[in-house]
Amino acid sequence: MKHKKPAMPITSTNNSKLLVLGKFFPLEVKRKGKKYELALEKEKIRIRIPESVKRRNLEYDYLRKWLRIHLAGILDEFIATHTKNMGVYVNKIHIKNQKTRWASCSSNHNVNFNIQLVALPRFLIEYIVIHELAHMTHKNHSRKFWQLVQKFCPHYKRRRQELRRYSLALRENKMWGRITPI
Ligand SMILES: [Zn+2]
């Protein structure tokens, strides 16, 4: 499977943009009508909050919920594909506000994912899934573990480098600080 290289560099000088799926999106928030709405469009994230709701910064709570659901959908898809390919199973997944780790798994086959994964391009989310599923077989980061990862993600070394670049971009992205306050 071939993936396009992410556009360089992964930074945005505009602090009002949010990094989602490897791209920076401005938020367009409007309070009008009666319904909540959120759409990830080509060039922006469009948010509608009912006119009658006055609470400030509600858009960030709403956005966080939406991102969580969106990420869950992507994870479910990759987990379904790769548990089958790799011959492992997953019990439950949880999406959490974690600060330092992308994901972790437990011996009872539960996997925790960081909500910030949704900031990454899909091919990096896929790498994280393969990495965690490989831990179902090898609990450590031994040579055998990386051989297994490589079997299902041949470019895993490049993926790890890209992941580091995105970690930095995420840390600098002020909008993410509003979505997952410390
Ligand atoms: Zn690991």
Position 70 pLDDT exceeds 80: yes
- Establish if 13 belongs to a structural domain: no
- Establish if 172 belongs to a structural domain: yes
- Establish if 48 belongs to a structural domain: no
Q: Give 135 Cα–ligand 1 centroid separation in angstroms.
A: 7
| Per-residue pLDDT at 88 | 96
The DSSP bridge pattern shows strands 45-49 and 37-40 to be: antiparallel
Contact 44, 28 (CB under 8 A): yes
- Establish if 133 belongs to a structural domain: yes
- Establish if 30 belongs to a structural domain: no
- Establish if 91 belongs to a structural domain: yes
Comparison of pLDDT for 164 and 55, the residue scoring more: 164
Hunting for tokens 């009666």 — which residue is that? 34
Buried b or exposed e, range 60-96, using 16+ CB within 10 angstroms: bebbbebbbeebbebbeebbeebbeebebebeebebe
How would residue 179 be classed by pLDDT, with cut points 50, 70 and 90? confident
Q: Give 23 Cα–ligand 1 centroid separation in angstroms.
A: 25
Hunting for tokens 């480098």 — which residue is that? 161
How would residue 159 be classed by pLDDT, with cut points 50, 70 and 90? very high
Q: What CATH number has the domain bearing residue 111?
A: 3.30.2010.10
Q: Give 174 Cα–ligand 1 centroid separation in angstroms.
A: 27
Q: Give 11 Cα–ligand 1 centroid separation in angstroms.
A: 26
Structural domain boundaries enclosing 151: 56-179
- Establish if 46 belongs to a structural domain: no
The pLDDT tens digits of the residues spanning 108-127 come to 999 999 999 999 999 999 99
Distances (CA, A) of 124 to 29, 56, 59, 65, 121: 28, 34, 27, 21, 6
- Establish if 128 belongs to a structural domain: yes
Q: Give 132 Cα–ligand 1 centroid separation in angstroms.
A: 6
The pLDDT tens digits of the residues spanning 10-53 come to 666 667 899 999 999 999 999 989 999 999 999 999 999 999 98
Position 86 pLDDT exceeds 70: yes
Q: How many domains does the chain have?
A: 1
